[in-house]
Structure 1
């Protein structure tokens, strides 16, 4: 075949390959919507509590010690750190894909060529050295480096590496979001534990009051002022309150162990000072502007990076329709006798081959891969928009929750004070036979429930403060 014929065949091949590459399916892609409302409840204050580190946001030294320990020992967080390392290794793997691969090796073999072939017929009339004809069975030894390289003419491999980098960065943001949730979960459980301590103290005080009332009732029965029914009703109320005491004690154990699990340690006492729980005032939270959520919330940044990676995956999948250029080369020594391997230049052997290949017929697999990548990119857009919407709603709900809980606590505190005064009044009226024992019993029950609800409202306030801080994107710095 002449050089002109080779050039013609090469030209025809290139035309066929590029025509095939042009027949890429057209798919509809979706662009993300990054717009958010201008403010939270018409506030234009840009001061944002999310920029405050958790060490400054939480002032209780026992709580900060728990958080600090959890950031080192929490098993789920450590698992995530290893996933980040896996993503980093994927970046390293893809960064080497578009560089030449060089391998060094050697080998030995035996060839038996038929004498009825062109090579066998030629060997019959040739000599491997003067006076020694070429044998029909000829050993072969070789050693040397081999180079293979896929030339990244469509930037498919480089875009694949960029996608891996985005996934790696997304895994870091996922870790940051996990840290945010971990800090918030420990803080919420810590405040709940303090609340249970206070509720237990209230129950124990109430048991003392009920026992005193029971003693008075027994004395009144002996004086024939009340019946046995009053004594039994007071006894039943004591037993009921005592059973509630054990329920709270179990909640304390479970909450302590939940904190211990988050900290990554076996069950032990959680150090705390619950005496001043009722005087704790929720920290003022500055929500800033909704647009700041895009920079502060790790889950939003993670969704954005995953979206960028998905876009590049579409580009990579599209490049599979184009022809790829592969170059292979070998340079080494080859001889039928190992003693002659280093007899250069006679034993020197070299080869260089460049190949351009692309899909022409039956592109079903790469078409399916391309369509899948496009669908995942659309999924990533919806996931990003959902994450932004969820973040805004979380903040709006928690801001409203903090305002309403503040009003609720004031009214609940007024109720407790009124019921506390009515308790002493009802007891005095009962001892002077001016009130029925049921009034004392019901009043005491009401004040217990009101005090318990007051503590629950306080812990809800503190949890709302923590959850607002988390919703704004605080806690991972």
Structure 2
């Protein structure tokens, strides 16, 4: 009879498992595309050396800039917020680790119960005696102390996969911090170069104002000698005011750039230490681009997207395991009696229990299916995000390499333009003094020279910024 009961139980269990496991949705698979071109440009030689491996202290050489970057890394609020996100992700790993081991606890309690006399329980208690002539106390006290344990056996690796997914997201948060770090280094450097450029533009405008004021004095003298008209005086006066107005615009830009840099450094507005006198003599650092496949290892945003993709795949496995039965085991052992002195009477006061249960959803599994579908969709979404990260990184590097090359050629031409216009300003002033040139020629020459000088400084800034950006785009700045 016992064998027949056992066979019936096993058959019922098999039937239960079969019913619980039927009609489970399939996982939507999509192959990963990790391929990258062999080079960024057909015009560049293929070399595996990359500037991304250089620490930022070696890539930048300006001592003032290095001090600013060091301060930003210590104080920047966004970076500190990201560090807290890492702590949150680390705690999530501990949260996912807990269900893998049994939950063991201790329980101590005391209670008092009085049941109605005319109830089934009350009538039973009245006829029960522990010893002859000694009925059960009324009201009935209850004292106990026990240990208990609950454990879900991870037969489908649901809990282990959830822990691995949490670990992947923790590592992704670390890469997220690295991405914020490399972006911060580039932002500080770019703001610093912008500040140097604005200082030089301010100096050029001030020199131009002095030149224009000198020309204004000359035309005023010529007017007194009837060699020029009031129109010429007013034209020169207007040009001086225009340049003076431009000076205050640049001063405002300097203030805003300093404050933006102070924000990156996590401090209130204060002067930024810098040496702007040699700005036009700065030579952009030589950059080794390496090969595109190195971006997969060096770019923190790509590594983050890859880890998030791995975590999303594990989430699908966790969601799929919800369709299968879960096996739980629980038990307890302890002492219980209605008088404290009886707790020491063994084995009468001992209690223990051991139970196992198998549970699985059979009907109305819509919520589980919805979560599974969402996990599938998030996995595909993470795949597209990963592929987009690779494509974006490749295009950013290709664009910056082309930009560096074109800016180098542009700077050479602008330098020649400024040299020619500087000579033109001197010539036009000499001709104007000898009444061999019109005042409009002088004004236009000075204006062209000013614009060319400002554009030359802007091009130099763009060169330095482009080098900083490609260092960031290659994955440098966080090591």
* Structure 1 length-normalised TM: 0.97
* 2:118 maps to 1:112: no
In 2, distance between residues paired with 1:392 and 1:447?
39
Q: 1:155 offset after TM fit, Å?
A: 1.0
Q: What residue ranges of structure 1 are gaps of 5+ in the alignment?
A: none
Query: 2:27–2:316: 8 Å Cα contact kept in structure 1?
Result: no
1:233 match: 235
In 2, distance between residues paired with 1:102 and 1:137?
32
Q: 1:121 offset after TM fit, Å?
A: 6.7
In 2, distance between residues paired with 1:41 and 1:444?
41
1:19 match: 19
Query: 1:193–1:255: 8 Å Cα contact kept in structure 2?
Result: yes
Q: 1:93 offset after TM fit, Å?
A: 1.3
Q: What residue ranges of structure 2 are gaps of 5+ in the alignment?
A: none
Secondary structure of 1:96's partner?
Answer: helix
Residues 23 and 115 from structure 1, CA distance in 2 versus in 1: closer, same or farther, beyond 3 angstroms? Answer: farther
In 2, distance between residues paired with 1:398 and 1:271?
29
1:45 match: 47
1:162 match: 164
* 2:358 maps to 1:356: yes
1:277 match: 279
Query: 1:115–1:124: 8 Å Cα contact kept in structure 2?
Result: no
Deviations 1:409-461 (A, max 9, x none): 01111110111000000011111111100000010000000000000000000
Range with greater deviation from structure 2 (132-141 or 257-266): 132-141
Report how many aligned residue pairs link the two structures.
476
Q: 1:142 offset after TM fit, Å?
A: 1.5
Residues 270 and 245 from structure 1, CA distance in 2 versus in 1: closer, same or farther, beyond 3 angstroms? Answer: same
Query: 1:18–1:323: 8 Å Cα contact kept in structure 2?
Result: no
1:219 match: 221
2:329 match: 327
1:394 match: 396
1:294 match: 296
2:247 match: 245
Query: 2:327–2:359: 8 Å Cα contact kept in structure 1?
Result: yes
Deviations 1:214-254 (A, max 9, x none): 00000110110010000010010000000000000011111
In 1, distance between residues paired with 2:156 and 2:147?
27
Query: 1:17–1:359: 8 Å Cα contact kept in structure 2?
Result: no
Secondary structure of 2:99's partner?
Answer: coil
Q: 1:105 offset after TM fit, Å?
A: 1.3
Alignment of 1:51-62 (within 5 A): 51-62=53-64
In 2, distance between residues paired with 1:11 and 1:150?
23
Secondary structure of 2:156's partner?
Answer: coil
Query: 1:27–1:374: 8 Å Cα contact kept in structure 2?
Result: yes
In 2, distance between residues paired with 1:30 and 1:247?
55
Secondary structure of 2:100's partner?
Answer: coil
Q: 1:22 offset after TM fit, Å?
A: 3.4
Query: 1:192–1:459: 8 Å Cα contact kept in structure 2?
Result: yes
* Structure 2 length-normalised TM: 0.96
Q: 1:116 offset after TM fit, Å?
A: 6.8
In 2, distance between residues paired with 1:321 and 1:27?
13
2:194 match: 192
Q: 1:383 offset after TM fit, Å?
A: 0.2
1:204 match: 206
1:442 match: 444
Q: 1:115 offset after TM fit, Å?
A: 7.2
2:455 match: 453
